Amino acid sequence: MGGLLGNKKASMGIGSMIIFIAMILVAGVTASVMIQTMNSLQQQAMKTSEETVRDISGGLKVTHVTGYNNGSKITQIAIFLVPLAGSGDINMTYADISFSDTTSHVILSCNSSCFSSSISNGLFNTLNASNLTSTTYGIMVIRDIDGSCSSTTLTINDEDLIVLLVNTSKCFSGISTRTEIFGDVIPEYGISGIISFTTPSAYINTIIDLQP
Instruction: Name the percent of the chain lying above pLDDT 70.
Output: 83
* Same domain (yes/no): 13, 94: no
Of 77, 97, 55, which is closest to residue 184 (Cα–Cα)? 97
Distance, in Å, from the CA atom of 142 to the CA atom of 113, rounded to the nearest integer, reads 17
Residue 189 is predicted with a pLDDT of 87
* Same domain (yes/no): 45, 76: no
Q: pLDDT by residue (tens digit) across 109-150?
A: 999 999 999 999 999 999 999 999 999 999 999 999 899 999
* Same domain (yes/no): 108, 180: yes
Q: Which of 20-34, 109-123, 197-211 has the lowest mean pLDDT?
A: 20-34
SS3 53: helix
- Answer yes or no: are the C-beta atoms of 197 and 175 closer than 8 Å: no
Q: pLDDT by residue (tens digit) across 174-194?
A: 999 999 999 999 999 899 999
* Same domain (yes/no): 92, 141: yes
Domain residues for 165?
60-211
Q: pLDDT by residue (tens digit) across 83-108?
A: 998 788 999 999 999 999 988 999 99
Beta-bridged to residue 47, according to DSSP, are none
Residue 44: pLDDT band (50, 70, 90) is low
Domain boundary among 57, 72, 102: 57
* Same domain (yes/no): 30, 71: no
Of 21, 79, 83, which is closest to residue 54 (Cα–Cα)? 83
Sequence-distant (6+) residues with CB within 8 A of 138 are 111, 114, 115, 116, 127, 129, 131, 132, 164, 165
* Same domain (yes/no): 204, 110: yes
* Same domain (yes/no): 102, 129: yes
Residue 205 is predicted with a pLDDT of 94
Q: Tell me 101's DSSP state.
A: -
Residue 37: pLDDT band (50, 70, 90) is confident
For 163-183, what is the mean pLDDT? Answer: 95
Q: Is the pLDDT of residue 13 over 90?
A: no
Residue 57 is predicted with a pLDDT of 61
Of 193, 212, 153, which is closest to residue 59 (Cα–Cα)? 193
Residue 9 is predicted with a pLDDT of 54
